[in-house]
Structure 1
Amino acid sequence: MSTQNTPRIARHLLTAAVKVFAGFDPAANIRKALGLMAAPETGEELPDEKDLATLRRRVIRPLGAMDGRPVCLFATYSPDGRIWPHVANYCRDLRAAGCRLVMIVATDRPDLRCYDPGPASADALLVVENFGYDFSAWARTLRLWPDLWSAPALWFANDSVYHSPSALPAMLERMKRSPADVVALTESTAFRRHFQSYFFVLRQAALGNPAVRDFFSEVRALGDKQKVIESCEVPLPSLLATARLQVEVLYPLGEDDPRSANPTLAAWQELLRNGMPFVKVQLLRENPMQVDIGRWRTDLTAAGFRMEEIEMHLGSNKIPSAALLQP
């Protein structure tokens, strides 16, 4: 075991224990601790935080001037610079709905090189050093291209989901018809009620609000995913409410629903029946809440998902995945 990571391992195990007693899923922290235990000794302690200004970036294709269309900031992780087909196709389908798309690729490659999926999938391509997760990637892009704040709307999205190309347009139409300043898809009651950040939209009233701009200007590049959730995803809705911005969640569960801590993992079938065009990669790869996914192929096929892309992506991982289950 790498002794340099001992303090971080201890923090993750302690957090996991607290989550068990609080009724939350400890799997993410346990996996992180195990990964740190297996990490090679490098002689350097891994940082918990980095200054956004010090993180390296490479612009492959710039966005150019705003043209009156909304802009999607799409964050994806690619350790070696390759872009998965399901990611490229998701971005292509978002663009087809009328937005311009900035693909932000976080990579472990020291040369910051990556495959360019082309203008059909991305209007702009930015490659960044892999550190800080999605909020860091979004904040770094907003600092690089501050004209983005003048877009009529910003769509924030990431690669943590598979999408149904047949169900996506209806969801996007609902989003466009919403009169709210902020539109999200699902919300979680973990820690405190907040909307989940795999897809949400900020419209001009929100983009022009000083509190919202200050929030993104103060985003830190954190090395721990749970800290990102606690310092970015969870506080954001409270900030929006304080700023008197209207927020609509398109696929809410009941207030007392026991699955509301993480509906995308615990209530995925109900969400699909209600028109939700996404399923979480984590659900099929790890199923951390141990829900019934025995008919996932049948359910996703019926909902219009591209099964060949999903199975190829899941089957590429060394850890057990839903791709190996019987239909």
Structure 2
Amino acid sequence: MFDSVWYRLNNSDSFRPAYVWPFARRMDPAWHHVSLGRLRDPNPLFDTEWYVAKRPEAADRGNVPLLHYLARGAGEGLDPNPDFSSADYFRRYPDAQASGLTALEHFALLGAREGRDPRHEPTSRPKSSGNLRLVCVFSHFDAAGRILPYVQRYLSELGRCGFEVHLVSTSPNLSTSDRRKAERAGVRVHCRENAGMDFASWQWALHHVVPLAEVDWLLLANDSVFGPIFDLEPVFRSQFAENWDFWGITDSYEVAWHLQSYFLCLRGDVARSEAFRKVFAVDFARLTKRSIIRSGEISLSQSLLRSGFRGNAVCPFDRLRKFRSFRQCNATHFYWDQLIARLRCPFIKRQLIRDNPMKLASAGYWKGFLERYTSYDTSLISDAILPVENVLPS
């Protein structure tokens, strides 16, 4: 139940030479936890602060909250974090209850890698999308002209969820074989000039290939994320059932609240609204990346809110309770592990793994983390982050 790599990376301040106990930097992480860091999280699934708030005696007289949970709390029906339901987990998976393990132990040791879901059961059963017309416009770019396997898998998952998928590529010399593979899977592939980034590609598709008058739900997506790490179908069902006007996977408070546009779903009437049309009247092809973020991503959410539409994030920043005070940060970088382990965020940012622009120590643990807490095929990521010169023909 103790993730030593994750613990060391997320408590690096305790292992630095300047720490008040110099010998601590040489400690085994598990020994550090029980002796000095017992009030810190031992793994991304156990929220120590939240658990102690429920059972204050778990931290009394030098107690280690994780050990209290394993010895007593789990048997009394307590959960390891607010997004984990032991009762619902056992109800879903009788074999887990029969194992004799706590729900957290079973999930961490077996369930996570098997793709099991520890979240609370929804209060009402999500409705099917039925005969709705679901259309996805997917923005794509690859310097070598490839449609990489992780993208092919992503597109396939969207098709399985009922979407008509339009891939708009700005890649030079798009691979004929990759294009045919995507088209055999039902994806409609379009090419355009490389200008204006994602918003210009979505704009082009809405002008040339997608008749919005016939669309019930419009999904704007791109290849800047790896995944889906978890099944997307329950996400679509729940969001459609709740009937949000527009929704995304994650949100941000940088500049102003907005849904991050790597995955943005809008009901048809919202995509036909004046607020939406006004944002997509901007000439994105002439703008810099920073201007596109402001005039596209941020402006779109804000314009829709001002028009009275309701927006929702599947994995909202405000669910990361410990970090609510840090509203000016990108959670998909700073708290990527919390998003995946606790909120089952179905994506991880490609830039985080490939470039790590914030120089986060935890980013280097992506492979071990995904293999421990998800069933996603990490070879799809490893192949995708190879330098372009390593894959271009000589």
Residues 163, 257 of structure 1: alpha-carbon distance in 2 compared, 3 angstrom cutoff = farther
1:205 shift after superposition: 2.6
Tell me whether 1:245 sits opposite 2:309 in the alignment. yes
The whole-number CA distance in structure 2 between the counterparts of 1:83 and 1:191 is: 33
Residue 274 of structure 2, aligned match among 195, 200, 210: 210
Structure 1 residue 313 displacement after superposition? 1.0
- Looking at structure 2, the residues matched to 277 and 218 of structure 1 have their Cα atoms a distance apart, in angstroms, of 30
CA distance in 1, matches of 2:335, 2:352: 11
1:143 shift after superposition: 0.7
Match of 2:350 in 1: 281
Q: Tell whether the 8 Å contact from 1:149 to 1:207 is kept in structure 2 after alignment.
A: no
Secondary structure of residue in 2 paired with 1:186: strand
Structure 1 match to 2:377: 306
Which of residues 186, 201, 204 is equivalent to 1:137?
A: 201
Mapped pair 1:200 → 2:264: yes
1:102 paired with 2:173, answer no
Preserved contact between residue 212 and residue 268 of structure 2 (Cα < 8 Å): no
Contact 1:167–1:275, Cα closer than 8 Å, also in 2: no
Cα offset, 1:84, TM superposition: 0.6
SS of the equivalent of 1:258 reads coil
CA distance in 2, matches of 1:146, 1:172: 20
Q: Distance in 2 between matches of 1:272 and 1:240?
A: 28
Show structure 1 runs of 5+ residues with no match. 1-66, 320-327
Unaligned runs of 5+ in 2: 1-130
**Contact kept? 1:167, 1:304, Cα under 8 Å:** no
Provide the C-alpha distance between the structure 1 equivalents of 2:175 and 2:386, rounded to a whole number of angstroms: 25
Question: 1:290 aligned to 2:354?
Answer: no
Count the aligned residue pairs: 251
Q: Structure 1 or 2: larger helix share? A: 2
Instruction: Look up the SS of the partner of 2:351 in the other structure.
Output: helix
1:261 match: secondary structure: coil
For normalisation by structure 1, the TM-score amounts to 0.71
Regions of 4+ moved over 2 Å: 78-81, 112-115, 117-123, 164-178, 217-220, 254-257, 315-319
Asked if 2 retains the 8 angstrom alpha-carbon contact of 1:188 and 1:263, the reply is yes
- Tell me: CA distance 1:299–1:257, structure 2 relative to 1, closer, same or farther (3 Å): farther
Alignment CA distance shift 1:161-1:236 (3 Å): same
Q: Which has the larger radius of gyration?
A: 2
Tell me the distance in 2 between the aligned counterparts of 1:239 and 1:276. Answer: 26
The percent of aligned pairs where both chains have the same amino acid is 27
**Secondary structure of 1:265's partner?**
helix
Note if contact 2:225-2:347 (Cα within 8 Å) is conserved in structure 1: yes
Matched, 1:268 2:336: yes
Q: 1:89 to 1:120 in 2, by over 3 A?
A: farther
Partners of 2:250 and 2:243 in 1: how far apart? 17
For residues 118 and 196 of structure 1, the distance between their equivalents in structure 2, rounded to whole angstroms, comes to 26
**How far is the alpha carbon of 1:287 from its aligned partner?**
1.4
Change (3 A) 1:84 1:138: same
TM-score by length of 2: 0.59
What is the one-letter code of the residue matched to 2:336? W
Greater strand percent: which structure?
Answer: 1
The amino acid across from 2:150 in the alignment is: H
RMSD: 2.3
Separation in 1 of the partners of 2:175 and 2:370? Answer: 34
Q: Deviations over 1:168-204 (max 9, x none)?
A: 3333333333311101111112222211100010102
User: Residue 182 of structure 1 aligns with which residue?
Assistant: 246
Residues 279 and 299 in structure 2, CA contact (< 8 A), matched pair in contact too? no
